[in-house]
């Protein structure tokens, strides 16, 4: 009888311990805290980006980030971390290629944009990552700058022109061999049809990636500031709710030629709720 009671208690204790230590994915209103030597930064993760939210919680629960560095810092732009290769990295080593071994599908929302203090996912460039998938662990916290209204309008025009040109160059490279073959073989009808197809594709992609600022975006970029040219290109999945001044302190650190701080800035990330 005593053995039965002891065994039953053991099962109950094990179950209780498991419930206490398990990570609850899918739970809303998640808040995490990044501790640094400069102080603590609390971040609310957006429920509108559940894939990024749950992945960040999963990695924080596993203590994946603890001991990693803010390995890339650009004052007036952003601070970046989340590279597991930065743990114990020797001074001067170029970082930024590490991760958990997987990417995350992009989660873009027009109401989630790069105002100062948001956290967003780093990723590889469009040429090798046209779907704009996010790094499995690397992230950055936006700093940016405050814009005058006229300056902001001019910037948006430039952003859209640059995006359209980049899309054109990418598609021209994709169609290059086929167009050259039609031209060489004298198949000009096919050549013209293919050119028209490319034009429609470029127009469609350019329209999809055109940056249009909402009133909320204009208000944020002309008051608290941010990084407008990254909108619609990198997934924003949370924002700082306490400790925004810590971002400025880290961003002000002296860096080497690869934007790595000369002094290691370690982090520890815990789940608040």
Verify that 138 and 177 share a domain, yes or no. no
Q: Are residues 68 and 178 in the same domain?
A: no
Answer whether residue 124 is part of any domain.
yes
Say whether both 160 and 134 belong to one domain: no
Residue-wise pLDDT tens digits, 152-205: 999 999 999 999 999 999 999 999 999 999 999 999 999 999 999 999 999 999
Same domain flag for 136 and 173: no
* pLDDT tens digit sequence for 11-32: 444 444 444 456 789 999 999 9
pTM of the model: 0.85
2 occurs within a structural domain: no
**CATH, residue 130:** 2.40.100.10
| HEC-encoded secondary structure of the chain | CHHHHHHHHHHHHHHHHHHHHCCCCCCCCCEEEEEECCEEEEEEECCCCHHHHHHHHHHHHCCCCCCCEEEEEECCCEEEECCHHHCCCCCCCCCCCCCCCCEECCCCCCCCCCECCEEEECCCCCCCCCCCCEECCCEEEECCECCCHHHHHHHHHHHHHHHHHHHHHHHHHHHHHHHHHHHHCCCHHHHHHHHHHHHHHHHHHHHHCCCCCCHHHHHHHCCCCECHHHCCCCCEEEEEEECHHHHHHHHCCCECCCCCECCCCECEEEECC
Parent domain of 166: 150-208
- Is the pLDDT at 256 greater than 60? The verdict is yes
Is there a single domain that holds both residue 163 and residue 190? yes
Are 43 and 112 found together in one domain? yes
66 lies in the same domain as 38: yes
Q: Are residues 76 and 191 in the same domain?
A: no
Whether residues 55 and 124 share a domain: the answer is yes
What domain count does the chain have? 2
Residues 193 and 69 grouped into a single domain: no
Please check whether residue 22 lies inside any domain of the structure: no
């Amino acid at each position: 009888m005593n053995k039965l009671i002891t065994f039953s208690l053991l099962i109950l204790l094990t179950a209780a311990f498991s419930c206490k230590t398990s990570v609850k994915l899918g739970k809303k209103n998640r808040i995490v805290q990044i501790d640094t030597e400069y102080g603590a930064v609390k971040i609310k993760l957006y429920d509108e980006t559940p894939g990024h939210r749950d992945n960040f919680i999963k990695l924080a629960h596993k203590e994946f980030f603890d001991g990693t560095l803010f390995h890339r810092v650009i004052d007036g732009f952003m601070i970046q971390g989340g590279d597991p290769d930065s743990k114990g990295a020797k001074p001067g080593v170029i970082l930024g290629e590490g991760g958990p071994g997987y990417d995350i599908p992009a989660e873009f929302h027009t109401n989630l944009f790069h105002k100062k203090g948001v956290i967003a996912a780093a990723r590889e460039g469009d040429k090798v990552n046209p779907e704009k998938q996010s790094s499995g662990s690397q992230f950055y916290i936006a700093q940016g700058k405050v814009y005058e209204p006229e300056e902001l309008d001019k910037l948006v025009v430039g952003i859209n022109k640059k995006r359209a040109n980049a899309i054109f160059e990418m598609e021209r490279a994709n169609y290059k061999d086929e167009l050259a073959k039609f031209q060489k073989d004298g198949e000009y009808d096919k050549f013209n049809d293919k050119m028209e197809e490319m034009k429609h594709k470029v127009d469609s992609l350019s329209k999809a990636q055109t940056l249009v600022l909402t009133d909320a975006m204009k208000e944020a970029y002309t008051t608290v500031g941010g990084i407008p040219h990254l909108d619609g290109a990198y997934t924003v999945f949370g924002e700082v709710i306490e400790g925004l001044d810590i971002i400025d302190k880290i961003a002000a650190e002296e860096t080497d030629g690869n934007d790595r701080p000369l002094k290691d800035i370690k982090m520890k990330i815990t789940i608040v709720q």
